[in-house]
Structure 1
Amino acid sequence: MADYTYRQAKSADPKAPLFVVFHGTGGDENQFFELASELLPGARIIAPRGDVSEGGALRYFKRTAEGVYDMADLALRTTQMIAFVAARKAESEPAAVIGLGYSNGANILAAAQFAAPDLFDASVLMHPLIPFTPPLADFSGRRVLITAGQRDPICPAPLSQRLADYFTAQGAQTGLFWHPGGHELRPEELRETQSFLAPWRA
């Protein structure tokens, strides 16, 4: 199992949701930590730091170009991340395991879901880019929210739509929220995320 460096906010309630948040390229475990506590107060928050460096920018897996992934490395890092999240889950008795990731963080979160559909009860994938065909999986009873920019130059809109269609076809309760901008996070998608997470708020 990868020994990720991570930041944690413990909850007094052992059954509090486990909220795992994944940063984007160039971020770290602090990027969304405070936001996570605002989105899901009372949750046990875990924020792992990506352990791949791309010119000094932290990521969760290697790539050879924009949108061109090192698939062998992605498979390895996905296995490691699944083991990491499973170990954190075993430390308490969470009522739910929820993931949130942005850009590269959304990509490793989605990859973990493809490989272990039962690990996350719900996920928020912000501006994901999945340029490959995911495997068949059973996401019945799972909830997924994808947020995307209609003019995102990094994550083309057709691929965001294709990912949403995939989760729907595999049985997930799927939402797709668009904003009119690009790859940046906007207040309206954060409000949509907050609404999506409402069932697990303390």
Structure 2
Amino acid sequence: MSTLEHKYAEGDATKPVLLLLHGTGGGPDDLLGLARELSPGSATLAPAGPVSEFGAARWFRRLAEGVFDHADVVKRAGELADFVEWARQEYGLGDRRLVAVGFSNGANIAAAVTLLRPEVLKEAALFSGMSPVPQPPEFDLSGSRVFLSNGEQDPMAPLPSTEEYIRLLEERHADVTIHRQPGGHQITLDGVRAAREWLAR
């Protein structure tokens, strides 16, 4: 299969594999520092967003700021899920625990995969993410866990859209942990601390 450009680094087999999903304009190395804070010694699987927006790497197309191309979200979420399945085979990950860690656009694509391909992605720690697709299928997500850290003053991931994603998860029986910080579109130390505690549970 055609696969996503990516970097893989092996780690402690007793710790979760972290699927690192960068924000707009980022790349596979962006979240390595965050990964070390969340789970030191974990293996990391860090793909690059396949969509170019004026040269900036993204995970899916958007029609305007905050307006997603929902058909493309669904398509790209499928590609990312297929990539994760391929990587499990390629790197001999077997049934090791895998947790997505995403920021901004990376959080949004991970959010889409949790709703659309829950058999592939059951756990995600999402920073500055929001609702990715308007009417996802009615899958039972009772085995899924999602951590969300969002800024109360975030113009790029407004809280009403984040609340919509939380509603979609909770209606489908996912386990949702919510962290709020007073600022904007960023990863905060408090958010990292809360995510680390969530990950260790």
Q: TM-score over 0.5 for the alignment?
A: yes
Q: Which residues in structure 2 correspond to 1:64-83 (within 5 Å)? A: 64-83=63-82
Return 5+ residue gaps in structure 2 as ranges. none
Would the aligned equivalents of 1:23 and 1:102 in 2 still touch at CA under 8 Å? yes
Q: 1:179 Cα deviation (Å)?
A: 0.5
69-78 or 170-179: which moved more?
69-78
Return 5+ residue gaps in structure 1 as ranges. none
Equivalence for 2:96: 95
Q: 1:176 Cα deviation (Å)?
A: 1.0
Would the aligned equivalents of 2:153 and 2:183 in 1 still touch at CA under 8 Å? yes
Q: 1:16 Cα deviation (Å)?
A: 4.3
Would the aligned equivalents of 2:131 and 2:164 in 1 still touch at CA under 8 Å? no
Q: Which amino acid aligns with 1:193?
A: A
180-189 or 89-98: which moved more?
89-98
Would the aligned equivalents of 2:23 and 2:106 in 1 still touch at CA under 8 Å? yes
TM-score (normalised: structure 2): 0.91
Secondary structure of the residue aligned to 1:98 is strand
Question: Is residue 129 of structure 2 the alignment partner of residue 138 of structure 1?
Answer: no
Equivalence for 2:156: 154
Would the aligned equivalents of 1:20 and 1:45 in 2 still touch at CA under 8 Å? yes
Equivalence for 2:124: 123
61-70 or 20-29: which moved more?
61-70
Q: 1:62 Cα deviation (Å)?
A: 0.8
Q: Which amino acid aligns with 1:46?
A: L
Equivalence for 2:114: 113
Give the paired residue count: 198
Secondary structure of the residue aligned to 1:85 is helix
Query: 2:2, 2:23 → 1: CA distance?
Result: 19
Would the aligned equivalents of 2:114 and 2:122 in 1 still touch at CA under 8 Å? no
Query: 1:136, 1:27 → 2: CA distance?
Result: 32
Query: 2:119, 2:84 → 1: CA distance?
Result: 12
Equivalence for 2:4: 4
Query: 1:43, 1:166 → 2: CA distance?
Result: 30
Query: 1:88, 1:145 → 2: CA distance?
Result: 23
